[in-house]
Amino acid sequence: MRTHFEITESPLSIEALVARLADPSAGAVATFSGTARNTFAGKEVRYLEYEAYRPMAEQVLADIGTEIAIRWPHVIAIAIAHRVGRLEIGESSVIVAVSAPHRREALQACAYGIDRLKAILPVWKKEVFADGEVWRENVFGNSTQGGEPP
């Protein structure tokens, strides 16, 4: 399985990440991207700040890749990019992309990747409002099907 993981301050591109998965035996590519929303609980968010424990985050992404390779041995390649720094509304904070011979593995592994990342990637998000700011932690009980940890 080929892998590509990055924690970056630059804008993310689905197309660029998917290009890293290209393989003539890949019949299926699934992607997930998380984007900065304009509201939280009805309150207008102006922008977001993401902070990472970067060396550990890179290690955790590699660990998630290994988990996926074990659970879905047919997966051909996986690429994950997480952005840090200031993000404007509508910008992508994370992209997970998986290629496989068939759609089932690609979709399941992609769902698993984003679920695991939200649970264990050492990254913190601050929402900035007109009148304050808050560190927003991920809530669970909303995992995707097929995405529970092993």
Identified binder of its own copies from the candidate list 5, 101, 124, 126, rule CB under 8 A: 101
Comparing CA positions, the residue from 9, 14, 7 lying closest to residue 96 is 14
Residue 48 sits in the site that holds its own copies (CB under 8 A): no
143 binds, among another protein, its own copies, none (CB under 5 to 8 A by kind): its own copies
CA gap 78, 56 in Å, rounded:
19
Residue 122 sits in the site that holds its own copies (CB under 8 A): no
In angstroms, give the least distance from the CB of 53 to another protein.
5
> Which of 54/120 has CB closer to its own copies?
120
Residue 136 sits in the site that holds its own copies (CB under 8 A): no
To which residue do tokens 């955790």 refer? 60
Mutual angle of helices 103-120 and 54-71, in 10-degree steps: 150
Whether 115 contacts 148, CB under 8 Å? yes
Residue 85 sits in the site that holds its own copies (CB under 8 A): no
Decide: residue 108, CB within 10 A, 0-12 exposed, 13-18 middle, 19+ buried. Answer: buried
| 102-121 footprint of another protein as x/- string (CB under 8 A) | -x----------x--xxxxx
